[in-house]
Amino acid sequence: MSSKKSSEESEEVEGVEEVEEPVEPEEVEVVEERFYTINLRDAWATPRSKRTPKAVRVLKDYIRRHMKVDDFKISNEVNQMVWGRSLKKPPRRLMVRAVKDKEGNVIIFPAKSA
């Protein structure tokens, strides 16, 4: 019986893929790093079915205005934070970290709470 259990356990382990935590892309020569708390109250003034897309637009406008860039990337973690509670209930505010490298590329990460 013990060999049967071990073979079943090994089959389960073989079939399960390990999920690795997302790793930040290489931050080569970070020129500028800023932390922002973005208030998404404007998203709550729109109809329920349009709140989260509005929250994403508010986030993008805020970053464009404060980092003075047109093109930037939002990490999957921030995207999951915004969309995590569905289409109708985005967060009221969002704490993010904006990182600009020497090429001028800006990537938005969630702020690490201490």
CA distance 38 to 87: 18
As a dihedral over the C-alpha atoms of residue 43, residue 46, residue 52, residue 56, rounded to 10 degrees, the angle is: -50
User: Which residues span the domain enclosing 52?
Assistant: 41-114
Residue 74 lies in a domain: yes
- Calculate the alpha carbon distances from 52 to 42, 75, 99, 103 in Å: 11, 16, 24, 31
Residue with the bigger pLDDT between 54 and 113: it is 54
State pTM to two decimals.
Answer: 0.73
Residue 11 lies in a domain: no
Residue 59 lies in a domain: yes
pLDDT class for 30, splitting at 50, 70, 90?
A: confident
How many folded domains does the chain comprise? 1
CA distance 15 to 10: 9
pLDDT of residue 40: 96
Residue 14 lies in a domain: no
Residue 32 lies in a domain: no
Q: What angle do CA 77, 55, 32 make, to 5 degrees?
A: 55
CATH number of the CATH domain containing 96: 3.10.440.10
With 90 as the cut, is the pLDDT of residue 56 above it? yes
pLDDT (mean) for 56-65: 97
Residue 82 lies in a domain: yes
Residue 110 lies in a domain: yes
Residue 17 lies in a domain: no
